[in-house]
Amino acid sequence: MLFNSFEFLGFLPLVFILYWFVFKRSLPWQNALILLASYFFYGWWSWKFMGLLVLSTILDYTYGFWVASPNKRKALLFLWLSIINNLGILAIFKYYNFFALQFQVALEQLGIHTAPYLLDIALPVGISFYTFHGMSYVFDIYRGQQKPVRSFIDYAVFVSFFPLLVAGPIERAGHLLPQVQQVRKFSYGQALEGCRLILWGLFKKVVIADAIAQVIDPIFTNYSDYNSPTLILACIGFAFQIYGDFSGYSDIALGTAKLFGFELLSNFRFPYFSRDIAEFWRRWHISLSSWFKDYLYIPLGGSKAGTTKAVRNTFIIFLVSGFWHGASWNFIIWGFIHALGFLPLLLLGRNRKNTDTVAQNQLLPSFGELRQMLFTFGFVCFAWIFFRAESLQAALGMISGMLTNWNHLAQITGKSIIILGGLLLAIDWYLRHNERQLRVPAWQPLRLAIYFSFALAIWLKLGGEQSFIYFQF
């Protein structure tokens, strides 16, 4: 089920009414309802993969008890079994065909011709997210930061809570599980904040991201037919599209969770106002970057094991992050490019320089801040080419076209990209101090007019049901 569908507009109020008016006096029944609603939400996409979600949940729930064993050797054994199980699920459904084809290429270089067996199965939506939920839970138990949960329903809600099930944010057991286990009371203020986040998230997805997608998708598909300025504009347009699409999903997820009394982790903090690549990754897909930092980068030694290992660990975490997004060389190169951008900051000790809000207590950024933001945004847009292009060849073709096709091939008007992207950035700049507090004018008529305008624009665009970009990961 998609957030931007009429089905969800019927599903959400129904669950909300049952949750607060029918089962409000019983926490176990509320959690059971949430779990049932989450499975229904996931099954609306495809019931045939429900078994995989349930199996993954049962395995990590069980491993949690075994990893808590006082016998360290036994605990370590089951930790590795959990890792193997989770990565094995990802390897089969997400990476098997990629490795099979790469192995075939390697053999052909040796003069051995093979016909590898490829799996003809769809990628289960959300598989990269719920497997990471389970892995972090087991990791935290092993490290003594989390105790095993007795109630299977409580744990299953943590793994499959429907607002975050298919595209995050990637929650931590220590943050979400206590909220699952404690009595929740309805808060009008919290619910109102949730509705504002849902409204803003839907606007970013339906009105901005989907509209930009209609303009740039033909360009990425037929890049050789367009001139250099159009190709450059399409890359900038994709930067706005993916941000509106993914951060819009996160806003809807956070807002929906608020309606049920939950507070989820932030996933975005205005990344396109970043002044360097290190700051960008503290603001973009925060739940994923922090996951890799805590469960991969730091265990490898982080930046405290010497410069050589710090450089090694930096490349590992970015390459793995790229590969997490998809089984393609495009994503690996995308991660590699970001590693190259991060490396000078690491070596110069400047990777923690920009940790404050840009233009703090000022209306506009300084010239230096503006220059840094434009350079970082340009770097990110260049890397997005590899993320968006359909193949490595297409990405290189796009870059070549940007440099050489300064003629009068077919081109598009960039008005929609400029207007919608500018609107997105302008609202973000107004809200940049707190992504959760959607400040609106205090004058009620103007406030209601803004809400109505957003809702009307969404309603007029609703129905196309364009999937969210991160559903493919």
Q: Mean pLDDT in each 10-residue stretch from start to end of the chain (473 residues)?
A: 85 95 92 96 85 93 93 92 92 84 78 78 84 94 93 96 88 94 93 92 92 92 90 94 93 95 93 95 94 92 84 94 91 96 93 87 90 96 95 94 79 79 90 74 78 86 74 72
Cα separation, 94 vs 122, in Å, equals 9
Dihedral class, residue 412 (left if φ above 0, else alpha if ψ from -120 to 50, else beta): beta
Cβ atoms 219, 388 nearer than 8 A = no
Please list the residues that pair with 226 across neighbouring strands.
Answer: 410
Cβ atoms 357, 282 nearer than 8 A = no
Catalytically active residues, by annotation: 325
Cβ atoms 306, 324 nearer than 8 A = no
So what's the pLDDT on residue 382?
Answer: 97
Neighbours of 4 (CB within 10 A): 24
Beta strand residue intervals within 35-170, DSSP E: none
- Burial class for 219, CB neighbours closer than 10 Å (0-12, 13-18, 19+): buried
Over residues 430-439, the pLDDT tens digits come to 888 877 667 6
Cα separation, 161 vs 130, in Å, equals 10
Cα separation, 365 vs 358, in Å, equals 7
Please list the residues that pair with 410 across neighbouring strands.
Answer: 226
Cα separation, 67 vs 425, in Å, equals 46
Give Cβ neighbours of residue 378 (< 8 Å, ≥ 6 apart).
none
Neighbours of 396 (CB within 10 A): 14
pTM across the whole model:
0.91
Q: What is the DSSP letter of 150?
A: S
| Structure token pair of residue 34 | 């949430």
Dihedral class, residue 384 (left if φ above 0, else alpha if ψ from -120 to 50, else beta): alpha
Single-letter amino acid code for the residue at 35: L
CA 177-192-240 angle, 5° bins? 85
DSSP string, 192-204: HHHHHHHHHHHII
Q: Domain coordinates of the chain in residue numbers?
A: 6-183, 189-275+354-472
So what's the pLDDT on residue 152?
Answer: 96
Greatest Cα-to-Cα distance within the chain, rounded to the nearest angstrom: 75
Cα separation, 118 vs 101, in Å, equals 8
| Structure token pair of residue 271 | 């990344």
